[in-house]
Amino acid sequence: MLKIRLQRIGRKNDPSFRVVLTDSKNSTKSGKFLEILGTYNPKAGEKKLENEKIKYWTSKGAKCSDTMHNFLVHDGVIEGKKINVLPKKKPTQKRKELKAKK
């Protein structure tokens, strides 16, 4: 299955990302992709997306990662609600309870 997701290309402590079309079986750091669909620079706040290509591939059955889905909803490229991508926090436990479990 094809996925549209972010691929990190920046140096250490200087993140920047490509928006790529890739097979979902490829890992995010493998470097393998079929097509570049845009770029994202979080430090400068720049997003350059090729909306026509993204619409084309989603019509062909490509799925977006949750973060890319939220970007596209925010920019108005696709319709829908945003998805919560933050991890669910575990309730805090006291140290004594943690030591007792070990």
pLDDT per position in the chain (102 positions), as tens? Answer: 999 999 999 899 999 999 999 998 887 777 789 999 999 999 999 999 999 999 999 999 999 999 999 999 999 888 999 988 887 776 666 665 656 665
**pLDDT of the residue at 68:** 93
Contact 78, 59 (CB under 8 A): no
The architecture that CATH gives domain 2-84 is: 2-Layer Sandwich (3.30)
